[in-house]
Amino acid sequence: MPLGEERLAAALAREGYFADEGLLTAVHLALFLGRPLLLEGEPGVGKTALASVLSRVLDRELIRLQCFEGLDSGQALYEWDYPKQLLRVRTAESRGEEIGDLYAEEFLLQRPLLRAVRCARGAVLLVDEIDRADSEFEAFLLEFLSDFQITVPELGTLRAAHVPVVVLTSNRTRELHDALRRRCLYHWIAFPDAERERAILHAHVPGLAQEAAAELVRAVQRIRELPLLKRPGIAESVDWARGAAALADGGDGWPRALRRALGLLVKDEEDTRVVQRHAEEVFGHR
C-alpha cells in the first residue's frame, strides 16, 4: 500500500530530501496509480536524487539506466556474454566434451531494464536524462513501460513479478515525444524557495548557524536571478555552505568566506565574472 502524503513527506525528510507540496503529490499519485514519474527541471534541482531517496524509503533496489546518444535496446535490456560463450566452446572442444547450451542463464548479461523486471523484491528504475537518448530508443522505452515484460528468444517472455517504480528525468536538451509524456505523470521541479533551501542546508551541513544559512541562501537566490550560463543547483549550494563554513572556522568572516569559496557554487569563468560584477548586490556591503 503506498504511503500517504504526510508519511511520504516525513520519510523523504528523514533522508534529507525536502519536497514541496506539488512534488509530494506527484510522487504519491505515481506510486498509487503505478504510473512512471517524468521529472523535468534545470540540472541540480534534485531529480536524480529523488529516485535514490525513494529506493531507500520503499526499501527497493535502485537500478539506474544512464541515457546517452546512441543508446540501443541491447545496452538497456540484455546481451549475451560472447567471450564466455567462446571460452566454453574452446574448452569443450579441447576436452572432447559436449558444448552444451550456449544460451543458458549463465551467459546472459542483464542490463538495467531486465534487472528491473527480474528484481525479486521490486526496484526503483531510474531512467536518467532520457532527453539525451535518441527518439528511437524513446519509442522502445514507451513499449517497455506499457507492459513491463521482456522477450528473450532463447528464454521466453519474462514478466515483472513486482512492477518497478519508474522515475524518468529530463533536462530538456530536446523535446520528448507526446506519447511518452502521456504515459507518465509529469512534474516540473523548480529551484527551492528560501525556506526549503535553508532546511536542505541544515540537513546536509550540520552545525551551520541560522544566520549564516539565511545569508548564504539570500546570496544563492540573488545569483540565480543573474543572467548566467548555468544557474547553480542545490548540490552546489550545499558544497558552497560546507566550503564557506570550513573557511569561517579557520578565521574568515562569513561574507569573506562566501566570496573565497565561490568556485564551489559557480563553475564557469564567464558566470564568475557576472557574479563579481554584482558582488555588492550578492554579498552586501561587507
What single letter denotes the amino acid at residue 181?
R
- pLDDT level of residue 1 (50, 70, 90 thresholds): low
- Cell output for 242: 560546507
pLDDT of residue 3: 77
Residue bearing cell 519474462: 158
- pLDDT level of residue 85 (50, 70, 90 thresholds): very high
* pTM beyond 0.85: yes
What single letter denotes the amino acid at residue 107?
F
* Arithmetic mean of pLDDT, 184-200: 95
pLDDT of residue 4: 85
pLDDT of residue 2: 65
Alpha-carbon dihedral sign for residues 69, 72, 77, 78: negative
- pLDDT level of residue 36 (50, 70, 90 thresholds): very high
The mean of the pLDDT values for the chain is 92
Give per-residue pLDDT as tens, 173-190: 899 999 999 999 999 999
Give per-residue pLDDT as tens, 240-258: 999 999 999 888 888 899 9
Distance set, CA 251 to CA 13, 214, 242, 248 (Å): 33, 20, 15, 5
pLDDT of residue 137: 92
Three-state secondary structure of 243-279:
HHHHHHHCCCCHHHHHHHCHHHCCCCHHHHHHHHHCH
- DSSP readout, 167-209? EEEE--SSPPPHHHHHHSEEEEPPPP-HHHHHHHHHHHSTT--
pLDDT of residue 49: 96
Alpha-carbon dihedral sign for residues 190, 193, 194, 199: negative
Give per-residue pLDDT as tens, 22-31: 999 999 999 9
The residues facing 185 across adjacent strands are 37
Residue 223 scores a pLDDT above 90 = yes
- pLDDT level of residue 286 (50, 70, 90 thresholds): low
Residue 147 scores a pLDDT above 90 = no
Q: What is the C-alpha separation between 184 and 48, in angstroms, rounded?
A: 16
- pLDDT level of residue 115 (50, 70, 90 thresholds): very high
- Please report, to the nearest 10 degrees, the dihedral formed by the alpha carbons of residues 156, 157, 163, 165 taken in order: 90
pLDDT of residue 105: 87
- Cell output for 178: 507526446
Three-state DSSP class for 104? coil
